[in-house]
Amino acid sequence: MLELRPNCECCDKDLPPESREAVICTFECTFCKTCADNILKMVCPNCGGNLVERPIRPKELLAHAPASTKRVLKEEGCVAAN
């Protein structure tokens, strides 16, 4: 099950479970669309994989399968993958 991380790893923007601004890689690294498009060029800086829109978990399922509250932030900020 997806963690649905609460923030962008680059800029720390809040990305609640219903956000259409969240993108993820296969390892669930999470970024906002602005950082993904403008800085990362839709490539995960951690694994080099592609970034895709994160699915929305229906509100009625969040009670039984809540989103993560653990924030992940790259201390060095975001740079494009090589």
The answer as to whether 16 is a domain residue is yes
The answer as to whether 75 is a domain residue is no
Which pLDDT score, from 0 to 100, does residue 56 have? 96
Give this prediction's pTM.
0.91
**Model confidence band, residue 79 (pLDDT cutoffs 50, 70, 90):** confident
β-bridge pairing 52-53 and 30-32: unpaired
Note down the domain range covering 38: 1-65
How crowded is residue 10: how many other Cβ atoms within 10 Å of its Cβ? Answer: 21
CA distance 26 to 38: 20
The answer as to whether 39 is a domain residue is yes
Give me the CATH number covering residue 3.
3.30.40
**Model confidence band, residue 82 (pLDDT cutoffs 50, 70, 90):** low
The count of domains in the chain is 1
Residue type, 11: C
Judge contact between 30 and 15, C-beta under 8 A.
Answer: yes
